[in-house]
Chain A
Amino acid sequence: ETGVTQTPRHLVMGMTNKKSLKCEQHLGHNAMYWYKQSAKKPLELMFVYSLEERVENNSVPSRFSPECPNSSHLFLHLHTLQPEDSALYLCASSQTRTGYEQYFGPGTRLTVT
């Protein structure tokens, strides 16, 4: 596989569930990102990892918990979400954290019921 992959592509979960989103990049990049895209809003950067270390957390509620076990994998653990958390969650990677373009995965479309 090439590029950035995400699983699952679609997820429906109740507010009391716990689920995880997975992202894998096959580009040899050192930085990975989680974004949230809601309807009629710009992309919102949630977390940034550089060389497996979290370097940015943009005031994201604690019900979202990222994990980066190695430079190729990134997870977003979800628990006790709210309906307003329904959105497209996009993972991206770049060669380094600064200066380089990002490559996005296809996203996970999350619906919280």
Chain B
Amino acid sequence: RKEVEQDPGPFNVPEGATVAFNCTYSNSASQSFFWYRQDCRKEPKLLMSVYSSGNEDGRFTAQLNRASQYISLLIRDSKLSDSATYLCVVRDDKIIFGKGTRLHILP
């Protein structure tokens, strides 16, 4: 099993729809979890941290399922500007980035 695994996509989603990504991780001792967003030819930027109790920031909701070792990102009412690659990051004694999931929001 890969350390951090994401569906590479691309996800082609009409504007206004809801889209969800999952990310699985192999190390049950992992401590911290994050979602980053990376636009084409730009650097990754922190989208949100993922807390055990789940957290929400506007249209974005992140959840952690320790028992099944995955984190999820839900985007509601998607906008054209949400088109990007979404990177899952898991941290134990080292930082591991997933390959990312490409999202295309269609007008």
Contact = CB atoms under 8 A, between A and B. Distances in A.
The answer to whether A and B belong to the same complex is: yes
Interface of A: 33, 41-43, 45, 56, 88, 90, 98-107, 109
Contact of B95 (A90, A102, A107): A102
Q: Which 9 A-B pairs have the closest CB atoms?
A: A104-B43, A43-B97, A42-B99, A101-B46, A42-B97, A104-B44, A107-B43, A106-B43, A99-B32
7 contacts: A43-B97, A88-B41, A90-B44, A100-B32, A101-B46, A106-B43, A107-B43
B87 A103 contact: no
A101 B51 CA distance: 13
B42 A106 contact: yes
Interface of B: 4, 31-32, 34, 41-46, 49, 87, 91, 93-95, 97-100
A42 B44 CA distance: 12
Contacts of B100: 42
Contacts of B87: 43
Q: Name, among A33, A99, A102, A105, the residue most crowded by chain B CB atoms within 10 Å (CB to CB).
A: A102
B51 to A, nearest CB: 12
Given A42-B97, A101-B34, 5 more contacts: A33-B95, A42-B4, A42-B98, A102-B46, A106-B42
B41 to A, nearest CB: 8
Q: Name, among B43, B44, B46, B93, the residue most crowded by chain A CB atoms within 10 Å (CB to CB).
A: B43
Contacts of B42: 106-107
A56 B94 contact: yes
